[in-house]
Amino acid sequence: MQTDPTPIALVATGDTAVDGEHEAIHTALMALCDGGPADAAALIRLERLVDGHFREEEARMGALAEDERVRHRHAHALFAARLRDCAETAAGCGTVEPGRIKDLALWFVIHSNTADHRLTEAIAAAETAAMAEDARLLLAQIRRAAGA
C-alpha cells in the first residue's frame, strides 16, 4: 500500500529535541502507512516512542496557559488511547486496518504543526523573558558594585 501522493508534511518547530522526536514518530507512522506490518509489535514500539515524546512535552508545558495545557494533555491522552486500541486490535487480530493508521498519522502531523508549535513558541518566549530578567538583575548588580 502506498501513502497518498501528497502527504501532509511536518513543519519544524525550531526546537531540535521536539523536531527530532516528531521526525522519528512521523517516520514510524509513514512506514506503517506504506505497508509496513501494522502488527502488535510495531504498534507497541510506536506507543513507547509516542509515550516518551508526550512525557517530554508535558514536562515543558509550564510555559502554556492552564487552559492550553489542559487541551494539549487531553489531545495526547486521546491519541495515546487510539494508538493503544490499535495495538490491542493487532494483538487480537494480527494486524490493523490501514485507514486507522493513516488517521493516526494525519492527527499527529496536524497536532505537531499546530499545538506543538504553540508549545515551543511559549517555551521560547518564557526562556527569552527569563534571560531578559537575568540580564536586568546582572546589570543592577554591576551598577550597585560600580556605585559602591
User: Residue 98: is its pLDDT beyond 50?
Assistant: yes
Q: Is the pLDDT of residue 131 over 70?
A: yes
What's the pLDDT at 35?
Answer: 78
Alpha carbon distance 80, 69 (integer Å): 16
Check: CB of residue 21 under 8 Å from CB of residue 50. no
**pLDDT at res. 3:** 46
CA–CA gap between residue 11 and residue 18 (Å, rounded):
11
Name the band, by pLDDT with cuts 50, 70 and 90, for residue 148: low
Q: Which of 122, 131, 111 is nearest to 53 (CA)?
A: 111
CA distances, 145 to each of 131, 132, 136, 141 (Å): 21, 20, 14, 6
Rounded to two decimals, the pTM is 0.79
> Between vectors from CA 111 to CA 105 and to CA 113, what angle results, nearest 5°?
100
Give residue 117's pLDDT band: very low, low, confident or very high (50, 70, 90).
Answer: very high
CA–CA dist 134, 138 (Å, integer): 6
Q: How confident is the model at residue 1 (pLDDT cuts 50, 70, 90)?
A: very low
Model pLDDT, residue 5: 45
Return the closest-CA partner of residue 96 out of 76, 82, 109: 82
User: What DSSP letter does each residue of 12-23 carry, written as one string?
Assistant: --S-HHHHHHHH
